[in-house]
């Protein structure tokens, strides 16, 4: 990676600034290559914006920002990823962008508009240094946005766009501290204070839209769940005693990426031995030993959508009797939870099914002696929505076709727990991705080995990645 300051110096020394400006103007309409053929269709994003505008009503205005870029260190940023509500409404993946929705429509520079995207333009610096930018013209053409403008115009036209508005909708985007993103947010905040309008948080409306997945979204979810399942399988095949946890993490990330994932949905959790009992462990540095169990929670993100899969398996490829006993209890609880998922049922039925199986199982094994002790070893909820966020909005209690969520009970027995020490350092979570269908539920991650026999069979296979 090279430093941007060098470029700035060169630009300052340019003997033909005029030519630079000509090139810059030409670049405004630069072609934008589309490398992917399976992005969600622009018509779907358009329909989402229209549905949101119908709910907002005439006379209202919606102003939305994507996430700001975040510094990692010095002049290096974290890999950019847009705000999920913004991605949901636009499909626009670049930083420094804002969307204004005007359900009643208004006139901007003599043109009737009801939606305006503000984004970066392609210029000489972006071409030389930053890679491809879509730019306003391509955003209209490729994303079906009614009207797009360069983001430097945001402050100047906000008054025109909002004229006569009586209601404001927005979301709580993280504030930006630099660049055009910060300038747009400052202009918006100034306008908002001057307008006297109370902001209505739109997250509730968007949450109810996002919790029901369309056929196109389900296609994407299937892809990312399958890619994530493959990653678990390759990790199981490769895992051996005396590997580091990060070596397993490297394998899953590799499999996500060669299956087209742009990101991991969240940092891989590869917890072995005592680390298997830490719910969101992702240090992944420990040397794994014969006899350890691994609790591995990892999934990719594809076209913005994340899967979320956890499997637990023994480092040496064969479960110990104690690991197997705990595993079978958690698997039975996962199965009971999934069996309670169907249209019209509610979350409470899943909670009850899982809690009963876990309680009965741990009592039978003597890990607990009364039902009230379950919380010592099972301290999280059984699931959450999945989608653009790995913890996706899921406001409705009753299951409906198109909902996608996880079922993920677990048992975590730390060293020193009040039970026979033969159970210590066993952490087991089994997490599947469930889609509610018209008639029941589909386990999208059923191909990822789940039973003791399936896991031991998979682990006995040779790995092409580690040669053993």
Judged by the rule CB under 5 A, the positions of this chain that interact with Mn ion are: 308, 406
Catalytic-labelled residue, pool 114, 384, 454, 456: 384
Residues 6+ apart with CB under 8 A from 131: none
**Active site includes 4?**
no
Is there a contact between 86 and 92 (Cβ–Cβ < 8 Å)?
A: yes
**Active site includes 297?**
yes
Residue 5 C-beta: closest distance to Mn ion, Å: 42
Q: What is the rounded distance in angstroms from the CA atom of residue 341 to the CA atom of residue 398?
A: 10
Residue 297 C-beta: closest distance to Mn ion, Å: 7
**Active site includes 360?**
no
**Active site includes 380?**
yes
Q: Among candidates 298, 297, 296, which has minimal Cα distance to 257?
A: 298
Count of CB atoms within 10 A of residue 80's CB?
14
Q: What is the rounded distance in angstroms from the CA atom of residue 218 to the CA atom of residue 209?
A: 14
Catalytic-labelled residue, pool 109, 380, 415, 420: 380
Is there a contact between 310 and 296 (Cβ–Cβ < 8 Å)?
A: yes
Q: Which residue is nearest to Mn ion (CB)?
A: 308
Element (H, E) at 61: strand 60-65
Output the six-digit token pair for 149: 């403008």
Name the E strands within 235-387.
263-264, 269-272, 293-297, 300-302, 305-306, 310-314
Nearer to Mn ion, 184 or 299 (CB): 299
Q: What is the rounded distance in angstroms from the CA atom of residue 447 to the CA atom of residue 228?
A: 10
Is there a contact between 99 and 146 (Cβ–Cβ < 8 Å)?
A: no
Q: What is the rounded distance in angstroms from the CA atom of residue 428 to the CA atom of residue 312?
A: 6
Catalytic-labelled residue, pool 115, 429, 433, 450: 429
Residues 6+ apart with CB under 8 A from 124: 20, 23, 24, 27
Strand partners, 444: none
Q: What is the rounded distance in angstroms from the CA atom of residue 4 to the CA atom of residue 128?
A: 11
Q: From the centroid of its chain, how far is CA 47?
A: 22
Catalytic-labelled residue, pool 8, 11, 178, 280: 280
What are the backbone angles phi and psi of residue 359, rounded to the nearest 5°? -65, -50
**Active site includes 384?**
yes
Nearer to Mn ion, 149 or 308 (CB): 308
Residue 400 C-beta: closest distance to Mn ion, Å: 20
Nearer to Mn ion, 185 or 334 (CB): 334
Residue 306 C-beta: closest distance to Mn ion, Å: 10
Residue 431 C-beta: closest distance to Mn ion, Å: 5
Nearer to Mn ion, 114 or 442 (CB): 442
Task: Give Cα separations from 185 to 21, 180, 194, 196, 374 (angstroms).
Answer: 28, 9, 14, 17, 47
Residue 40 C-beta: closest distance to Mn ion, Å: 23
Count of CB atoms within 10 A of residue 379's CB?
10
Residue 371 C-beta: closest distance to Mn ion, Å: 25
Nearer to Mn ion, 96 or 408 (CB): 408
Q: Which residue has the tokens 């580690």?
A: 466
Nearer to Mn ion, 308 or 322 (CB): 308
**Active site includes 223?**
no
Q: What is the rounded distance in angstroms from the CA atom of residue 32 to the CA atom of residue 35?
A: 10
Task: Give Cα separations from 427 to 101, 313, 415 (angstroms).
Answer: 48, 10, 11
Residue 383 C-beta: closest distance to Mn ion, Å: 7
Nearer to Mn ion, 413 or 430 (CB): 430
Nearer to Mn ion, 417 or 443 (CB): 443
**Active site includes 232?**
no
Output the six-digit token pair for 146: 């009614």
Kindly list the catalytic residues.
75, 280, 297, 308, 380, 384, 391, 408, 412, 429, 431
């Amino acid at each position: 990676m090279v430093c941007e300051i060098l470029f700035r110096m060169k630009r300052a020394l340019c003997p033909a600034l005029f030519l630079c400006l000509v090139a810059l103007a030409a670049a405004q309409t630069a072609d934008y290559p589309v490398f992917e053929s399976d992005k969600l269709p622009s018509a779907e994003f358009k329909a989402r914006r229209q549905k949101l505008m119908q709910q907002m009503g005439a006379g209202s205005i919606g102003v939305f920002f994507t996430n700001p870029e975040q510094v990692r260190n010095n002049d290096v940023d974290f890999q950019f990823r847009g705000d999920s509500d913004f991605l949901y409404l636009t499909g626009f993946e670049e930083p420094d962008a804002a969307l204004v929705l005007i359900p009643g429509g208004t006139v901007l520079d003599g043109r009737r508009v009801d939606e305006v995207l503000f984004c970066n333009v392609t210029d000489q610096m972006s071409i030389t240094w930053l890679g491809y930018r879509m730019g306003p013209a391509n955003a209209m053409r490729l994303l079906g946005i009614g009207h797009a403008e360069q983001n430097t115009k945001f402050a100047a036209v906000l008054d025109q766009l909002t004229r006569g508005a009586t209601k404001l909708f927005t979301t709580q985007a993280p504030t930006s501290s630099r660049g055009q993103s910060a300038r747009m947010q400052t202009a918006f905040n100034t306008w908002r204070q001057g307008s006297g309008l109370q902001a209505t948080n739109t997250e509730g409306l968007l949450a109810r839209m996002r919790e029901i997945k369309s056929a196109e979204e389900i296609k994407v979810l299937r892809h990312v769940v399958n890619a994530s399942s493959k990653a678990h399988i390759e990790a199981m095949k490769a895992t051996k005693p005396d590997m580091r946890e990060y070596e397993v993490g490297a394998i899953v990330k590799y499999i996500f990426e060669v299956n087209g994932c742009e990101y991991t949905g969240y940092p891989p959790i590869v917890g072995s031995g005592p680390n298997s009992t830490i719910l969101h462990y992702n240090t992944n540095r420990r040397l794994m030993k014969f006899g350890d169990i691994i609790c591995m929670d990892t999934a990719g993100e594809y076209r913005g959508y994340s899967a979320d899969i956890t499997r637990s398996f023994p480092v040496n490829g064969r479960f110990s009797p104690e690991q197997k006993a705990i595993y079978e209890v958690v698997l039975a609880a996962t199965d009971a939870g999934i069996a309670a998922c169907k249209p019209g049922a509610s979350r409470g039925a899943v909670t009850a099914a899982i809690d009963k199986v876990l309680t009965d199982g741990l009592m039978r094994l003597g890990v607990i002696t009364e039902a009230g002790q379950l919380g010592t070893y099972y301290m999280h909820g059984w699931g959450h929505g999945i989608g653009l966020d790995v913890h996706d909005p899921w406001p409705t209690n009753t299951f409906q076709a198109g909902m996608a969520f996880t079922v993920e009970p677990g048992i975590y027995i730390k060293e020193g727990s009040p039970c026979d020490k033969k159970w210590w350092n066993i952490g087991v979570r089994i997490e599947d991705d469930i889609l509610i269908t018209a008639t029941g539920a589909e386990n999208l991650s059923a191909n990822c080995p789940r039973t003791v026999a399936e896991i031991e069979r998979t682990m006995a296979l040779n790995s092409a990645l580690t040669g053993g």
